[in-house]
A = this chain, B = another copy of it.
């Protein structure tokens, strides 16, 4: 048996015992109870995004990790005559650029420094010279650094210029209030093991039905075909291919617990409290953050390695790990840093405990 640990990562996260307990019962993938559960999840996700079927929005669940969900959208929605604009300021934007190359999509990449946010202004300027762009994709919470891109402002530019807006809200959805309509988002992608606090196994896409329908017949893979996956779920409530049954049962419970906590606003508040305890504690220990505070989100924070030449991240990580606290390595191109997440079933007192252990091992 693996030692009980708290995960201060961008996911998979610490989840509640009751979420995990739902997985103690096998369930058939074509069973009515399972089908009902999938439907409940779809409905609940729409509500969390402040949209509804009546408004013309739909939800698709896709097996695999969040990246599978992103690729499902990118490789299904961008037609041969479409042009995708990728707004990139980190590893997750670059990942989408890789997909665009593999799928031979017409695309542009506008790159920003990884310690700067994407701006609506730069996006609009680019569109002036590139009216051929039909779709724009941007990461909300760039986990590479932890910054938040200004999705609402970029969404407004998309709507003004009539572009389809795809948002990778992987590590933010459920931990940040998001109204898809107000934010001008046409496709929002996140995954089961992020701020909803479920276990890994699938991604989900909340999207405008009229745009989803345009993807019919243009998927570039069978498994990741977004339209067909949706059509399959609509036809008989079943997945086309074996779903991660137990992850899905756990996710329904996670949604219930999100509601019991007080919904997204309450969860956002808890995560922000976690972050403020972390900021204060780490600052007192002399750690400096990579990003300037105005663009730093409350999901995950990058801390620079201390000046001390004797600092060894692997040793630091191991010592924390042995005490039951799992942090996350860095992913920056420019500088050495490590990351600490504020999300999952962790509370301000857990962050205090982490700070105490960091103090101890330094």
Contact = CB atoms under 8 A, between A and B. Distances in A.
Interface in A24-43: 24-33
B244 A247 contact: yes
A240 B14 CA distance: 20
A13 B26 contact: yes
A15 B5 contact: no
Contacts of A11: 29, 242
A243 B102 CA distance: 22
A65 interface: yes
Contacts of A162: none
- Counting contact residues on chain A (CB < 8 A from B), the size range is 35 or more
Given A68-B223, A222-B99, A222-B102, A5 B27 contact: yes
Kindly report how many copies of this chain are found in the complex they form together. 2
A68 to B, nearest CB: 5
A68 B17 CA distance: 30
A328 interface: yes
Given A20-B24, A24-B21, A66 B200 contact: no
Given A23-B20, A241-B68, A98 B4 contact: no
Nearest to A4: B25
A75 B224 CA distance: 12
A210 interface: no
A1 B25 contact: yes
A152 interface: no
Contacts of A150: none
Interface string A306-320: 000000000000000
A223 B95 CA distance: 10
Contact of A67 (B32, B71, B200, B222): B222
Given A2-B25, A28-B326, 7 more contacts: A11-B242, A12-B246, A29-B200, A68-B68, A95-B222, A200-B201, A246-B247
